[in-house]
A and B are shown apart, each in its own frame.
Chain A
Amino acid sequence: MEVNEQIAIDHGLKSDEYKKICKLLKRTPNITELGIFSAMWNEHCSYKSSRLHLKKLPTKGKKVIQGPGENAGVIDIEDGDAIVFKIESHNHPSFIEPYQGAATGVGGIMRDVFTMGARPIANLNSIHFGSPQHKKTKNLLRGVVHGIGGYGNCMGVPTIAGQTSFDSSYNGNILVNAMTLGLVKKNKIFYSKAAGLNKPVIYVGSKTGRDGIHGASMASASFDEKIEEKKPTVQVGDPFTEKLLLEACLELMAGDSIIAIQDMGAAGLTSSSIEMASKGNLGIEIDLNKVPCRETKMTPYEIMLSESQERMLIVLENGKEEIAKKIFDKWNLDFAVIGKTTNSKNIELFFNQEQVAKIPVNILVENSPMYDRKWKKSKLPKKNKIKNEVLNKLKIKDVLKKVLSSQNICSKEWIWQQYDHTVMGDTIQKPGGDSGVVRVHGTNKAVAASVDSSAVYCWAHPLTGGKQVVAESWRNLISVGATPIAITNCLNFGSPEKKDNMGEFVECVQGIGEASKYLNFPVVSGNVSFYNQTKEVGIKPTPSIGGVGLIKDYKKMISMDLKEIDNLVLIIGKTEGHIDQSLFARTILDEKNGPPPEVNLFNEKNNGESILDLIDKEYVKSAHDISLGGLLVAISKMCIKGNKGIKINKSKKLINEIEYFFAEDQGRYLIEVNKEDLKEVTKILDKNSVHHEELGIIIQKDMIINDKTKVTIDELKSYYTSWLSKYMS
């Protein structure tokens, strides 16, 4: 087939980009080469709209071993141990085919982690669906949950935490972000940089089929009415093969055979081979006849663009082929020497003894397009004036019932009970807490992880929203007693070609950068997903932040369940009564305008560090951060989990009772302390200038508010637990 501009455009390339290719090659590419360019230069692989802005994120720190640019980020957790982690989106495929889309998202992120030599020890996910009333929502939710469970459960990796939200902006574009943490010895980390000439290039894992061709290109475009036709671009997962691949790779990694290793994820053999060559400043030669294929008569074009799952590319030391082959034979996996490294700095492909592609590697990588897209700065919306008469008409109990049972607050047990969260025998904090926590096997340490997003805040004011998500992730780690170390981000946005959406991206990234810099909470890995858009309608900007922290002595881990009657609950951080953009404002007042709560990074850092100090001194019996839904929601969850009540006396303040209980002011926590320790705790908090006040005292049962409102624990439980399971039945 003769390549021309129209064919290039059909591959998702822009006219300018096609011209650039011809100019760089000094000729017209053939169809295989065009396919390779389209795979490397799409938004998903090249980050062409985001690179410029991502550069501004803080990525370094004392604990950072590897920042962005590798398969995943790596942080130091002392004693020679390191944690490898990353979050990645699988949004587009999950909307088209929820089970396989979500499953392969989980499979892909786990591969990114074990490619670096780490055994996956925990999975997390952040999933977002359209309005519960939308006709597709129920099936999408069921399919995604089954897919995540189907893959993770079979791999034997616990799913320890997650986040689920519903918002009509996801009606046409759901979000599925999957995160994995792996454990590795610091001196046994593997990278994707090839080195040395004439080293064998090895293909291992599943055979290559025709599934997923153009998957990455599909994920780089908006949806339209022809979306059903895109089903063949969705990959099909086989977690059983991946489990074998994991064990085989780790077995090979225990020796010294591997120079470089890269999984075949988006854009398959194309991006994996090019990335390895590019990082090593080498060329690579591949004989496509040697690639194990599942189907007959596959063309070079199809082999290079297939996104069949559970495959790896390895550059081996010379003479190690037999050792490696023996291991992959043992695990019943394909193993083939398909090429070698060269000094040509080209990627050269052969098929039936003919050269079918020859492209300088640097053209594909360094010369890939980078755009400074137009973007619009957003203004901070004006504050709403909510009249006291409106608030005074409301009954606290009615409001609490509605808020606690709302779709974005209620218990997600229906979801996480379908994920194996206890396999590997080290899960010490299960889903439903502030963070999931797993022990570092065989040690006294534990790793905490959480995943957060606040699309509503980001939509109202992207800069503040970006900061808030990082701060919330930080708080969730602190609340379980973990010292926050680093984050990974999954940036889900609409079309970068629209300046409103691009503005949301730019300013969210700016907010994330500011907060992570201030909190010394660097970004070590991540991914960008643009074009979460159907025709002209994009999603609310939804950056997901995955935070990771360390608990040095796992026996000091904190959970949110109230522990002991007669203990006191303190509010850390000031309650100002910020109602705009709160869940209360949206569900009770039906008010969608106004600014999100302000994020004061000094207070975040100061409050968080002070709580860690109190935890270390063993004054804190339980803790929970105050976030979506506000104070009363936070204490309700603590009561439900601890099966205890609380007697609350709101201090005499100027702000209205409703504002006090449902505001979403940031930087706040609830902590439970023993009466005898109160003096010492107060002293420490005062010394650090941390605002604190007493919320109430723990009692046997019932939540009693200002002596006039009584809610029983059973009522709280029924508000909190009924919605989702009812919705899904």
Chain B
Amino acid sequence: MKSSVITFPGSNCDRDMDVALKKFGFTNKMVWHDDNELPKSDLVVLPGGFSYGDYLRCGSMASKSKIMQSVINFAKSGGLVMGICNGFQILVETGLVPGVLLRNKYLEFICKNVFVKLDNKENTYFKNLNKDVLEFHIAHNEGNYFCTKDQLKEIKDNNQIAIYYCNSEGKIEDQYNPNGSIKNIAGIFNKEKNVLGMMPHPERMIDESLSGEDGSLFFKNLLNNIK
């Protein structure tokens, strides 16, 4: 399976994503933001980091990069596009997924493990996963997901909410919400479920010596689903 990771100026989880994808069997290519065309890919990843220094608004400038037109076309033709952390912020700025990401409620960067509850397994990302709660890792300053009432109704109606912040038992409550996101939302899909944006970093949870191994589950499963 072929994947592509886009490097924007200021991306800093691009290598980590490359390592993770290769570890679980993807043939990955790093793609420069200034390129015109995506290589042939089964999955495109917008990695975490601080593209363009988060200047103007997180993800805003990267969303206008040359490569993004090709990424948008790929997504619109049904290709799998996953945005992690800053990649999620970029996706929001392109309009591929609805809503915005505001500054964390307590105005502080947060780096820690969190639990997330899967809401929808009818998609290539989470289909066949044998767990409903995953332990992931977050590291962000602007992960406070927000959308209008109408949008919220729409994404609920379309089953677009991918994951919620919760506790280890899968309880979705305010106290387990690290950043103030509306309804504890940690990640969302587009309507067609081929585009996923999420704040947590599965690529940081890929072996027993790191923060955990639920990232391994996620990538293995994703590869199998794409095959």
Contact = CB atoms under 8 A, between A and B. Distances in A.
Interface of A: 146, 149-150, 153-156, 238-241, 243-244, 331-332, 416-425, 427-428, 439, 554-555, 557
9 contacts: A156-B13, A240-B9, A240-B53, A243-B50, A423-B13, A423-B48, A423-B204, A425-B19, A428-B209
B88 to A, nearest CB: 16
Contacts of B203: 425
B111 A418 contact: yes
A425 B110 contact: no
A243 B16 contact: no
A155 B54 CA distance: 12
A249 B41 CA distance: 30
Which of B19, B109, B211 has most chain A Cβ within 10 Å? B109
Interface in B44-82: 48-50, 52-55
Contacts of B48: 423
A153 B10 contact: no
B204 A240 contact: no
Contact of A420 (B10, B20, B55, B109): B109
A422 B211 contact: yes
B12 interface: yes
A420 B138 CA distance: 9
Contacts, number: 82
A670 to B, nearest CB: 23
Interface of B: 9-10, 12-13, 15-16, 19-20, 48-50, 52-55, 108-112, 137, 139, 141, 201, 203-204, 206, 209-211
Closest 7 CB pairs of A and B: A156-B12, A240-B53, A425-B16, A154-B50, A428-B209, A420-B139, A418-B109
B30 to A, nearest CB: 12
B209 A439 contact: yes
Contacts of B201: 422
B9 A153 contact: no
Tell me the interface secondary structure of chain A in the complex.
Answer: mixed
A421 B108 CA distance: 15
Nearest to A421: B111
Contact of B53 (A154, A416, A424): A154
Nearest to B48: A423
B9 to A, nearest CB: 6
Contacts of A331: 9
Nearest to B52: A240
Given A156-B12, A420-B109, A420-B139, A428 B53 contact: no
A71 to B, nearest CB: 23
A153 B109 contact: yes
B204 A418 contact: no
Given A156-B49, A239-B50, A240-B55, A423 B16 contact: yes
Contacts of B210: 422, 425, 427-428
Given A240-B50, A240-B55, A423 B209 contact: no
A13 B201 CA distance: 53
A423 B53 CA distance: 16
Nearest to A728: B108
Which of B9, B12, B108, B211 has most chain A Cβ within 10 Å? B12
A183 to B, nearest CB: 13
B50 A424 contact: no
Contacts of A156: 12-13, 49-50
A244 B9 contact: yes
Given A241-B53, A418-B111, A422-B211, 20 more contacts: A146-B108, A154-B12, A154-B50, A154-B54, A156-B50, A240-B9, A243-B9, A243-B50, A417-B111, A417-B112, A418-B110, A420-B109, A421-B111, A422-B210, A425-B19, A425-B20, A425-B210, A428-B209, A428-B210, A555-B209
A566 B216 CA distance: 33
A154 B139 contact: no
Given A240-B10, A244-B9, A427-B210, A422 B50 contact: no
Contacts of A154: 10, 12, 50, 53-54
Nearest to A429: B209
Given A417-B112, A419-B109, A424 B16 contact: yes
A154 B109 CA distance: 11
A422 B137 contact: yes
Nearest to B141: A153
Nearest to A729: B106
Nearest to A331: B9
Nearest to A154: B50
Contacts of B15: 424-425
Contacts of B139: 153, 420, 422-423
A421 B109 CA distance: 11
A636 to B, nearest CB: 22
Nearest to B111: A420
Contacts of A423: 12-13, 16, 48, 139, 204
A238 B53 contact: yes
Contacts of A557: 209
Nearest to A424: B16
A425 B216 CA distance: 13
B140 to A, nearest CB: 9
Contact of A239 (B16, B53, B204): B53
A599 to B, nearest CB: 34
B119 to A, nearest CB: 25
Given A155-B12, A156-B49, A422 B204 contact: yes
Contacts of B16: 423-425
A418 B108 contact: yes
A89 to B, nearest CB: 24
Nearest to B11: A156
A557 B209 CA distance: 10
Contacts of B204: 422-423, 425
A554 B109 contact: no
A382 to B, nearest CB: 47
A243 B110 contact: no
Which of A238, A240, A419, A427 has most chain B Cβ within 10 Å? A240
B178 to A, nearest CB: 10
A241 to B, nearest CB: 8
Nearest to A554: B209
Contacts of B52: 240
Contacts of B112: 417
Nearest to A238: B53
Contacts of B55: 240
A588 B43 CA distance: 61
A74 B124 CA distance: 48
A227 to B, nearest CB: 27
A423 B54 CA distance: 17
A419 B209 contact: no
Nearest to B211: A422
A150 B204 CA distance: 20
Nearest to B7: A247
A417 B106 CA distance: 13
B62 to A, nearest CB: 12
Contacts of B108: 146, 417-418
A725 B204 CA distance: 26
B53 A419 contact: no
Contacts of A332: 9
A332 B55 CA distance: 15
A425 B210 CA distance: 7
B66 to A, nearest CB: 13
B17 to A, nearest CB: 9
A555 B54 CA distance: 37
Contact of A422 (B9, B20, B109, B111): B111
B8 to A, nearest CB: 11
Nearest to A425: B16
A331 B108 CA distance: 29
A419 B137 CA distance: 13
